[in-house]
Each structure stands twice: as structure tokens, then as C-alpha cells.
Amino acid sequence: MICSLFFAAMLGISSQTGIASEAANQSARTVSPEPTTTSTAARRPPLSREMRGDIFMARKMFGDAIEQYKAAPESASTYNKIGIAYHQLQELEVAKKYYQRAVKFDPRYSDAVNNLGTVYYADKSYRRAVGQYKKALRLSPKSSTIFSNLGSAYFSRHDFKRAIECYNTALSLDPEVFDHHGTAGVLLQESTVDDRATFYYYMARVYARNGSVDHALQYIRKALEQGFRDRKKFRDDPDFASLQKLPEFQKIMTSEPRVL
């Protein structure tokens, strides 16, 4: 998603074991400040429950983050963050419930509307995902992440024309939108697709059309490495016309990359 999942791009789930992990967890739970002078302590505001939750999320300690968010004042933001924490724990039905609570609390909170779409996408309910992403775009029409997600939903429905249109719009709003590989914040970006070879071919077209030569060549290589067989499309498609005489392009076309 593109699921994979896009805070401004996706938190990975990691497990920590052993004494070092327990020590780190205990340290994070207490969040006790280092000894300071009275004047320094006076200048430092106390951490709110939501801020503590954000720290745990950054450390990928999702269970502890959930505890802090649930103890924080009720808001669309905290409900959304609880949903994201459960999402990263792969508890999608629970995540869905909290995204819905966030939307009920604030119907114009586009982040939660988008994130609800990522649950539908993960369930392969692409039609419903499209609907959610469209709702989110009506609230945040300049969000490159949501356009990217909508493109992935269209792609998974094999509506490649609309997918490319969405990807082009996302790229025009943020030239680095597809370079985000993690998540940070409150907006999930989808980064998983089933047919990677075809996806990379279309991404190469998007970048070539936008004049990003290095990215276009990179995705051509990826497409071939994933088993994309129709090299004629790279030679005949007008989007790749500007690449035809480049030595790098010609080398890719004559090489036999190892299929991954």
C-alpha cells in the first residue's frame, strides 16, 4: 500500500526479548526525568498521557501506548491513535472500532476516515476502501497520502487508469510521497499490493511521466526483478519515450535481472 502501513508512512511491529528489553520497557513506563535543577524543572512542562503514549508509539511499544491513550482525555485524536496502535498489533477489528469512535467524535477528522479505509483495504474490501478514501479526500483534498491510498485501492481493483491518475496527483502534491517507508503521526499510508510486478510497471510510468528519470529507471528494474515479462511495453509506451536513448535504460532492457 502501498498497506504497507502510511502514520506519514508505516510503523513496523517488532518484539523485544531478554533483560535489555525489560530494562527498556521499565524505563519507558516510568518516564522519569533525569535529575535537574529547580529552575530547569520549572521550565519543563509535565508530560500528558497522550504525549507519553506518543513516546511509546515511537518506541513501538504499542501495548503501553494504548494504556496511556486510554487514560488521556477523550478526543478524536486519542481514539485514532488507539486505533493505530491496535492496527500495528494486527488487531484490525479493534482498530476499526476505535477509528469509528474517532469519526463519531469528530466527523470531519479526515485522518481517522482515511485510517478506517486502510482496515477495509487490509480486508481486501477494496470497494469500501475506495469509498472511505474519497470521503477523506472531501475533507482533506490536498493530502498526497490519501491520494496514494486511493490509487492503491483502485490498483487492487484493476482500475489502472484511475490508479495512475491518483498516483500522479499524489506525486504532484508531494514528490517524495512514495519514498515514505514508515509511519509517523496519525495518518496511515497503504504500501502493500498483490501484483508487485505490474504495480512497479505503473509506478515507472508515473515517474517517467513526471520527469523523474532515476525513480523511473529504479521501478523498471523492480518490475523486471518481480517477473514483469512484457518488455515491449517499456519500449512502446509514450510515457517512456524520454528514456529510450539513455544508456541506463538500454542496459536494463538488454540485461537479465535475477527474478526475486
- For residue range 76-120, list pLDDT tens digits in order: 999 999 999 999 999 999 999 999 999 999 999 999 999 999 999
CA distance 62 to 89: 7
- In this prediction, residue 51 carries a pLDDT of 95
Read off the pLDDT of each residue in 44-50 and give the average, rounded to a whole number: 89
pLDDT digits (tens, 9 = 90+) for 185-235: 567 776 677 788 899 999 999 999 999 999 999 999 999 999 898 888 998
Neighbour-count burial of 178, counting CB atoms closer than 10 A to its CB (0-12 exposed, 13-18 middle, 19+ buried): buried
Across the chain, mean pLDDT equals 83
Are both 86 and 185 inside the same structural domain? yes
Are both 173 and 92 inside the same structural domain? yes
Are both 60 and 188 inside the same structural domain? yes
Does residue 30 surpass a pLDDT of 70?
Answer: no
Are both 154 and 224 inside the same structural domain? no
Are both 156 and 99 inside the same structural domain? yes
Residue 34 lies in a domain: no
Q: Please name the residue that has the C-alpha cell 475533507.
A: 139
Q: Please name the residue that has the C-alpha cell 481517522.
A: 112
Residue 32 lies in a domain: no
Whole-number percent of the chain with pLDDT over 70: 79
- In this prediction, residue 25 carries a pLDDT of 44
In terms of Cα–Cα distance, which of 135, 145, 138, 139 is closest to 5? 145
Whole-number percent of the chain with pLDDT over 90: 65
The last residue of one of the domains, among 161, 192, 223, is: 192
CA distance 69 to 190: 24
Q: Which residue range is the domain that position 101 belongs to?
A: 1-14+49-192
Are both 78 and 131 inside the same structural domain? yes
Q: How many domains does the chain have?
A: 2
CA distance 176 to 166: 15
Are both 188 and 224 inside the same structural domain? no
All three cell numbers of 66: 494504548
Read off the pLDDT of each residue in 5-22 and give the average, rounded to a whole number: 37
For 202, 214, 221, 243, the CA distances from 259, given in Å and listed in that order, are 18, 21, 10, 23
pLDDT digits (tens, 9 = 90+) for 33-43: 444 544 555 57
